[in-house]
Structure 1
Amino acid sequence: MNTHFIAIGGSAMHNLAIALKDKGYQVTGSDDAIFEPSKSRLEKKGILPQEMGWFPEKITSDIDAVILGMHAHQDNPELAKAKELGLKIYSYPEFLYEQSKTKTRVVIAGSHGKTTITSMILHVLNFHQKDVDYMVGAQLEGFDCMVKLTQDNDFMVLEGDEYLSSPIDLRSKFLLYQPNIALMSGIAWDHINVFKTFDDYIEQFRRFVASITPGGVLVYNEEDAEVVKVVETAENYFRKIPYKTPEYEINNGQVYLKTEMGDIPLSVFGAHNLLNLEGARHICHTLGIMDEDFYDAIMSFKGASKRLEKVEREDKGILYKDFAHAPSKVKAAVKAFCEQFKNEKKYGFLELHTYSSLNPVFLEQYDHAMDGLEEAIVFYSEDALKIKRMDPISPDLIKEKFKNENLKVFTNAEELHAYWETLDKTNGVFLMMSSGNFGGLDLTK
């Protein structure tokens, strides 16, 4: 099969391109900018574009599938040529469905926790040498690529994202997968630039539940009121399996899961991760993994990349980084950190740089998000606001919305870095929350 990727350099797109190359497909692609690690990984497979830019002449009638990434625009010249030739144009999720429509599809959805839950499931299956196809949004230990596609596997595990599918397909990604087995971890308003109201956002999850195949299975978090409402009002037929936070305890910094088989030591911490683990256990059970085998495998799960991930520092200071930027994720990460490190001085740094997180209306969602930390710091770039053509935000407004008078607010990266240099990294514990890099801050030094 001859495939061409428009915007091949994206995190998800380049992994799909690699998976298709490994499957034996002919793969080409274009992009106007490709960064690491995508660049090196594509180069290693021999599918890195020779030059950056868009080249309509690459689009020829012998291409079987054009795969369009979100980074491209509606007026992309390669997209225009593909339309002119009448080629089949797929969004990323649409193509994944085409690759998995004869398989049992397991889709993990939710505003938070979906990457970790998907990662836990794949870790357990890999531990027991159960081969499945998959797509996950984080690099996992023991996995070379975030996407795997085969001819023979019976199951495909998909991380289901509620964001838009492509510039010309404005459906939420997870609406294209039609799951046989699904999980919903939680609903907390996100992507305000696309879903203008909370009800608009919830509607995507209503549609997701409605897309479960007849007689399918939905594993859902019964502790989330919004999830429960969506499940209870669903009109289609599927089997419902609720889950909740399991019993656990912390002894000398070690988390133990309380089970009928005894106390199970874990390599992750935080109530939200224990909740994620319980959801993963139920999904694994539907895939034929017994509890004893699940616990045997999950003990060695160390977390998904950038999800409460410990950073090895030169000075041996204790520092964790987390992808958290949405309010619900920040609150969960801070709560877990404070519970795990009760006796240490706790520093929490949060970078706001997404469209939603910099929107004054959405900032209300961050109320008390940094409570429990001895030192709480929020950073956002005034330059980022200008680039996004957004109005300036005052530090006082940030403090007001976070409902935290002791919050330190930085709007200049150099000033943030100078403050960072004054801190003794071996006297206290540090939680760094961002989907960016705090203006180039090196967390290892």
Structure 2
Amino acid sequence: MRVHFIAIGGSAMHNLAIALHLKGFNVTGSDDEIFEPSKSRLNKHGLLPKTEGWKPQIITDELDAIILGMHARKDNPELLRAQELGLKIYSYPEYLYEQTKDKRRVVIGGSHGKTTTTAMVMHVLQQLNMDFDYMVGAQLEGFDTMVKLTKDAPIAVFEGDEYLSSPIDLTPKFHWYKPHVAMLTGIAWDHMNVFPTWENYTSQFTKFADSIEGNGTLIYFDDDDELEIIASKQSQIQTIAYNTIDSTNVDGQTIVQWDGQSYPMEIFGNHNLQNLNGARLVCNQLGIDDDTFLKAMQSFKGAAKRLQLLKKNDTANIYLDFAHSPSKLKATTSAMKQQFTKRKLIAVMELHTFSSLNKDFLPQYKNTMDEADKAVVFFNPEVLKHKKLPKITEQDVLSAFGRKDLKVLTDSNELVTWLKAQDYDSTNLLIMTSGNFSGLDIKQLTSELI
């Protein structure tokens, strides 16, 4: 198979390119800019384009498939040439389905927790030496790539993202996968630029549930009203509800209690314990019993940027989390306070996504950081200009979060100065962002704080 990637440098795209290369495909690709770590990883496998830029002359009728990334535009010259030649053009989720349509597909969706839960299922399968294909949205310990596709693996485990598939395919990604086993962690409005209303957003999850294969299974969090409605309308599939698994907190470590047994875990927080319980039910569907699952989960440390411990000493821990939406922000902040009851919490978050920087969406953040002892919100006005969004002010942010002592900063140097001035004695620091605070080396910063 000869496959060409338009916008090969994307996070998902370069991982799929590597996966197909390892499967024996003839893979080529183009992009107008490729950043790390994509650049080094493509280069390692001999897939890095020799020069950046679009080259329509390399699009020929000898190609079996074109895979189009979200970074490309509708008027991309390579895309136009492929359309002119009548080549088959796939989005990457569509191609993932194409490669796994004869396998048993497991898909984890939801507005939050889907990366972590997918990682949990993958961790357990790997611990048990089960053969499986996968796609997950973060780099995981013990896995070389974020995508794996093979000829013989009987199972495929996918993180089910609700964002759009490509510039010419406005299908939410998870609608492509048609799972046999599906899990939904919860619904909280996100991606306002694509789904402008709550009703429009939630309808995507209804369509996902409707796409589950006949006699399949939907596992869902039962404390979510919208998911209860979606599950109640399913008549052709099995539905299984879950909630927070029982546990105790002993000196800062979470001990799961199950069937009279105790299982010490590396993870913590109600949200993670809900994810764990859902992952348990997913693994039950794959023939894995509860005791085997929980024993395997004891060595799970989490996914990158999901309550990732960056540094610790005797009196302080510093964590990095991907949290940026209101529900994620509140759950992550709450988890830190629940786990470390004797420590103060400094929480810092960056408004970076389209939705979070939208003035109309900001009120969704009301009270989300109230559990932190000190709270900081950072945003860069230049990012608003880049995203062509209306200006927001520090007062807009202060009013939206509903916390009078909230510190709002727009300069990363000021943020660094403030963080270095804090006392970290018996205090944890939680850094939450889907960006990098306008170019900060976060890991280097943490080494200077404690």
**TM-score bin, normalised by smaller chain:** over 0.9
The 1-side partners of 2:313 and 2:252 are apart by 22
SS in 2 for 1:443: helix
The 2-side partners of 1:402 and 1:435 are apart by 19
Q: TM-score, normalised by structure 2?
A: 0.97
Residue type at the aligned position of 1:80? L
Q: Quick one: structure 1 residues 359 and 288, their matched pair in 2 at CA, closer, same or farther if it must change by over 3 Å? A: same
| Cα offset, 1:439, TM superposition | 2.2
Residue type at the aligned position of 1:240? T
The 2-side partners of 1:420 and 1:382 are apart by 20
SS in 2 for 1:204: helix
Q: Does 1:266 align with 2:265?
A: yes
Residue type at the aligned position of 1:419? W
Q: Quick one: structure 1 residues 443 and 33, their matched pair in 2 at CA, closer, same or farther if it must change by over 3 Å? A: farther
| Cα offset, 1:11, TM superposition | 0.5
The 1-side partners of 2:313 and 2:354 are apart by 34
Unaligned runs of 5+ in 1: none
8 Å CA contact retained: 1:18, 1:42 = yes
Q: Quick one: structure 1 residues 46 and 426, their matched pair in 2 at CA, closer, same or farther if it must change by over 3 Å? A: farther
Q: Does 1:415 align with 2:414?
A: yes
Identity %: 52
The 2-side partners of 1:71 and 1:387 are apart by 15
Q: Does 1:103 align with 2:100?
A: no
SS in 2 for 1:334: helix
Deviation per CA, 1:362-391, whole angstroms, max 9, x where unpaired? 112111100111110000011111222222
Q: Does 1:25 align with 2:25?
A: yes
| Cα offset, 1:261, TM superposition | 3.9
Residue type at the aligned position of 1:308? L
Tell me which moved more, 427-436 or 193-202.
427-436
Deviation per CA, 1:265-310, whole angstroms, max 9, x where unpaired? 0000100000000000000010011111101100000001100000
8 Å CA contact retained: 1:255, 1:265 = yes
SS in 2 for 1:312: strand
In structure 2, the residue matched to 1:377 is 376
The 2-side partners of 1:150 and 1:100 are apart by 9
Q: TM-score, normalised by structure 1?
A: 0.98
| Cα offset, 1:179, TM superposition | 0.8
Q: Which consecutive aligned stretches of 4+ in structure 1 deviate over 6 angstroms post-superposition?
A: 313-316
The 1-side partners of 2:336 and 2:428 are apart by 9
The 2-side partners of 1:102 and 1:51 are apart by 37
| Cα offset, 1:312, TM superposition | 2.6
Residue type at the aligned position of 1:48? L
| Cα offset, 1:231, TM superposition | 1.5
8 Å CA contact retained: 2:315, 2:426 = no
| Cα offset, 1:313, TM superposition | 6.2
Superposed counterparts of 1:312-331, under 5 Å: 312=311, 317-331=316-330
In structure 2, the residue matched to 1:51 is 51
The 1-side partners of 2:419 and 2:296 are apart by 38
RMSD: 1.3
In structure 1, the residue matched to 2:385 is 386
Unaligned runs of 5+ in 2: none
Superposed counterparts of 1:201-212, under 5 Å: 201-212=201-212
8 Å CA contact retained: 1:349, 1:376 = yes
The 2-side partners of 1:133 and 1:434 are apart by 29
Superposed counterparts of 1:120-131, under 5 Å: 120-131=120-131
Residue type at the aligned position of 1:339? Q
Deviation per CA, 1:345-376, whole angstroms, max 9, x where unpaired? 21000000111001111112111100111110
Residue type at the aligned position of 1:83? Q
The 1-side partners of 2:242 and 2:124 are apart by 18
In structure 1, the residue matched to 2:285 is 286
Residue type at the aligned position of 1:443? T
Tell me which moved more, 361-370 or 306-315.
306-315
Superposed counterparts of 1:34-433, under 5 Å: 34-234=34-234, 236-312=235-311, 317-426=316-425, 428-433=427-432
8 Å CA contact retained: 2:324, 2:349 = yes
| Cα offset, 1:427, TM superposition | 5.0
Q: Quick one: structure 1 residues 4 and 374, their matched pair in 2 at CA, closer, same or farther if it must change by over 3 Å? A: same
Tell me which moved more, 61-70 or 423-432.
423-432
8 Å CA contact retained: 1:382, 1:412 = no
The 1-side partners of 2:145 and 2:411 are apart by 36
Deviation per CA, 1:194-234, whole angstroms, max 9, x where unpaired? 00100000010010011011111111111111111121134
Count residues in correspondence: 444
SS in 1 for 2:447: coil
The 2-side partners of 1:425 and 1:98 are apart by 51
8 Å CA contact retained: 2:7, 2:68 = yes
In structure 2, the residue matched to 1:439 is 438
8 Å CA contact retained: 1:318, 1:426 = no
| Cα offset, 1:425, TM superposition | 4.1
